[in-house]
Amino acid sequence: MSARVALRDQLAALGRYHSPQVAADVRLNTNESPYPPPDAWQRALAEALRAVDFRRYPDREATVLREAIGELDGVGAEEVFCANGSNEVLQSLLLAFGGPGRRALVFEPTYALHTHIAALAGLEVVTEGRGPDLRVGIDTALAALERIGPDVVFLCSPNNPTGRLEEPEVISAVVDAAPGLVVVDEAYGQFSSWSALSLRDGARGREGLVVVRTFSKTWAMAGARLGYLVAHPEVVAGCAAAALPYHLSTQTQLAGVLALGYKEEMAERVRKVASAREQLASGLAERPVETWPSDANFILFRPLGKDAAQVWSSLLEDGVLVRDFSSRPGLEGCLRVTVGTPEENARFLDALDGALR
């Protein structure tokens, strides 16, 4: 039966964002943590859930969670907005400050959902390219700001899927020159050496800076669906106005609050992944592939002399799943591998050797 109301043009044109979920012994395609959260956290969460009265709605303001995140990042609770993963954070932000007649500036190649969610929210999306090093050039960025006058600018740092950390001076210059909001997506921020949160120190004149983070990667909690942003209280209030009532469940709030009691354990996981990343990068450097420096928990690489899609298929036949970006503009011939455990990384390199023969 045909629908009585046609699908919105924007949705019909966009299609769905997805990463293939196929069976594989070693899944290195979605940048998940290779290590689970601490056992003590899981036990504490199970115990806390026993005391929850599920007849009652969750705390609409997520007060305790926002206070705990504020303490973590050195800001007030009024500067924190939480939602179901960083994607809902972005959706709420763009529903509040986007809409028809407004523009978003995106530097491609980058995280596809920046464009996807902006278009869903009715913004016109304007794209600019990156330099040969896959970073945003300061001259390119400032010229684009002058020419386009965007209401929202997206900077992903470290950038997904390239892994590159944007230069602090570039982000600082964009924040100072942008006429609207500057959204710095730091989903992988804890793997890197610098955060745009530092630009909020004495943030007078930088009220448009929005830093987005997630518990999915460095906190090993992708299944919990918890993300947040740090921004000026007026931005936070706008996001809260756009979000649905009671959108953040009691169990999600509990999971986040309890996780913040295990900061050192979580930091140790980040250190282990960062160390494994360098070992994986060394392994890739010994093989006929092109790579780029990464400050995230993944590495972008391009097989040399081999069709990337065929390499992807060969890896999957050997039980290793990576992400195929080979048909994406600006990433032609590229694949992306998530940093796994040392055993998973060794399995990947062995399978890659077979695929490159």
pLDDT in tens, the chain (357 residues): 456 787 777 676 566 555 667 889 999 999 999 999 999 999 999 999 999 999 999 999 999 999 999 999 999 999 999 999 999 999 999 999 999 999 999 999 999 999 999 999 999 999 999 999 999 999 999 999 999 999 999 999 999 999 999 999 999 999 999 999 999 999 999 999 999 999 986 555 689 999 999 999 989 999 999 999 999 999 999 999 999 999 999 999 999 999 999 999 999 999 999 999 999 999 999 999 999 999 999 999 999 999 999 999 999 999 999 999 999 999 999 999 999 999 999 999 999 999 999
Claim to verify: residue 290 and residue 181 sit in the same structural domain: no
Claim to verify: residue 322 and residue 332 sit in the same structural domain: yes
d(CA 76, CA 208): 17
Claim to verify: residue 163 and residue 52 sit in the same structural domain: yes
Claim to verify: residue 303 and residue 230 sit in the same structural domain: no
Claim to verify: residue 291 and residue 244 sit in the same structural domain: no
Residue 101's Cβ-count burial label (10 Å; 0-12, 13-18, 19+) is: exposed
* Cα torsion 283, 289, 292, 295: sign: negative
Domain end marker among 243, 262, 281 = 262
**Residue 4 falls inside a structural domain:** no
Claim to verify: residue 175 and residue 283 sit in the same structural domain: no
Domain end marker among 220, 240, 262 = 262
**Residue 2 falls inside a structural domain:** no
Range of the domain at 252: 39-262
Claim to verify: residue 243 and residue 283 sit in the same structural domain: no
Claim to verify: residue 127 and residue 92 sit in the same structural domain: yes
**Residue 198 falls inside a structural domain:** yes
DSSP string, 176-188: HH-SSEEEEE-TT
* CATH number for position 338: 3.90.1150.10
Q: What is the pLDDT of residue 16?
A: 57
* CATH number for position 147: 3.40.640.10
**Residue 291 falls inside a structural domain:** yes
Claim to verify: residue 275 and residue 240 sit in the same structural domain: no
**Residue 32 falls inside a structural domain:** yes
Q: What is the pLDDT of residue 6?
A: 78
Q: What is the pLDDT of residue 139?
A: 97
**Residue 29 falls inside a structural domain:** yes
Claim to verify: residue 348 and residue 250 sit in the same structural domain: no
Letter for the amino acid at 139? D
d(CA 196, CA 158): 11
**Residue 3 falls inside a structural domain:** no
Q: What is the pLDDT of residue 7?
A: 76
Domain end marker among 247, 262, 277 = 262
d(CA 311, CA 303): 8
* Cα torsion 190, 195, 198, 203: sign: negative
Claim to verify: residue 244 and residue 198 sit in the same structural domain: yes
Claim to verify: residue 235 and residue 248 sit in the same structural domain: yes
How many structural domains compose the chain?
2
**Residue 343 falls inside a structural domain:** yes
Q: What is the pLDDT of residue 8?
A: 76
Q: Which residues pair with 230 in a beta bridge?
A: 80, 211
